[in-house]
Amino acid sequence: MANGAMRERGGVAIQYDLLLKGGEVIDPSSSLRARRDVAFCRGSVAAVAENLPPEEARETIDVSGKLVTPGLIDIHGHFFYRYQPRFGHPDDFCLPTGVTTAVDAGSAGWSVFAALRDHVMRHSTTRLLAFVHLSSTGLNRESTKHGELMDMGLAQVKSAVECINENPADVVGLKVRIDDSALAPQNAIPAMERAREVAEAARCRIMVHVSRSPIPLGKILSYLRAGDIVTHPFHGSAHGPLDDSGKIRPEVHEARQRGIIFDSGSAKVHLDLNVCRMALDQGLLPDSISTDGSRLDRSFSMPDVMSMFLQLGMPLEQVIDASTRKAAAVIGREDLGSLRIGAVGDAAVLDLEEGEFAYDDRAGNVLRCRRRFVPLLTIKDGRRWRKPVVLR
């Protein structure tokens, strides 16, 4: 092994810190779906093979009959809990559900980003990245008393560019919400113009919220370039992805051909299950699966959203791919979302439970599922994650 033996136990060299034994590995980055053992050493994936000797591992966990995937990646959540009371801590929402990497999607603008970085991101076990909001204050209505871009004076191009450029290890792009609760209709086009200006100057991707948009979806898409991200595409409000006859709009097809990414952003308020079903039936599958969540008591978890898309007809391997390898690629972190040897040692152990389960949306639609993903174990940087014990 590249890292070498660490010590001996009864004359046998200990090669691995942790060994997951007997699971069904699904790793889209390696085109692998098979029964394999997965071993970790010094924070990385050290071996993926059949019948690795348990005596060569410091700790062995039997995961027979379970799914083993790369650590899940949620590219759209909200975790600035010290700034916005509705948001929760990333370690409470992510790690218990198999998510090892999450992205805060614009909770902070440039004026408060340092607080998110220094007081949340630096202190979370979850690998936390961020989109910087176009509005300087981000999503805290306590400071603005109204939607974050009702006052376009908060959209400062130069300051947003500086914030993004000064934080390359933490920031994956710019977030803008084209939502009637976020801005006045007359501000929608100026917001997209400024977002484009920031993205060009900072050479970064844009994530744009399109649910409840006051302008047509095609107009928003015209400002996007390859690698930019549309989130909440499966909403039921006006200007959605489907025309009046229920067909996918031509401008949506054209956007996908141009390399624009479609992210599920599956919060109840921004998801219409009927729209989602019709879109998937016509081949509009999400490139990345995400939650738009922050707290387990009020949001769908990643396994919940994955279960929904599985029931809607998305093949199992594609569900895993959109939650691991493709999600990593969307945010430019191809070093994540993989169980290849040498990759970051993140993994999720999931059960695919049979039964009768139901998920609803804000419109009152109910999706009844026959299977659901249940998170059993999270491996972060090659170690089993355990919820910290809080002493009272």
273 burial (CB, 10 Å; 0-12 / 13-18 / 19+) is buried
Residue with tokens 């994650």: 385
Q: Tell whether the model's pLDDT for residue 326 goes beyond 50.
A: yes
Cβ atoms of 57 and 366 within 8 Å: the answer is no
CATH number of this structure's domain 72-330: 3.20.20.140
In three-state secondary structure terms, 357 is strand
Residue 7 binned pLDDT confidence (cut-offs 50, 70, 90): low
DSSP, residue by residue, 276-344: HHHHHHTT---SB----B--TTTS--HHHHHHHHHHTT--HHHHHHHHTHHHHHHTT-TTSS--STTSB
Which sign, positive or negative, has the C-alpha torsion 160, 164, 167, 172? positive
pLDDT tens column, 280-310 = 999 999 999 999 999 999 999 999 999 999 9
Residue 3 binned pLDDT confidence (cut-offs 50, 70, 90): very low
CB atoms within 10 A of CB 351: 17
Q: Tell whether the model's pLDDT for residue 352 goes beyond 60.
A: yes
Name the nearest CA neighbour of 230 among 203, 170, 270.
270
DSSP, residue by residue, 169-231: TTEEEEEEE--TTTS-GGGHHHHHHHHHHHHHHHT-EEEEE-TT-SS-HHHHHTT--TT-EEE
pTM for the whole structure = 0.96
Q: Tell whether the model's pLDDT for residue 346 goes beyond 50.
A: yes
Domain 7-69+343-384 has CATH 2.30.40.10: yes
pLDDT tens column, 90-146 = 999 999 999 999 999 999 999 999 999 999 999 999 999 999 999 999 997 665 568
Q: How far is CA 230 from CA 79, 125, 205, in A?
A: 20, 28, 11
- Going from N- to C-terminal start, the domains of the chain cover 7-69+343-384, 72-330
Q: Tell whether the model's pLDDT for residue 261 goes beyond 60.
A: yes
Structural element, H or E, at residue 20: strand 16-27
CB atoms within 10 A of CB 87: 22
Cβ atoms of 235 and 275 within 8 Å: the answer is yes
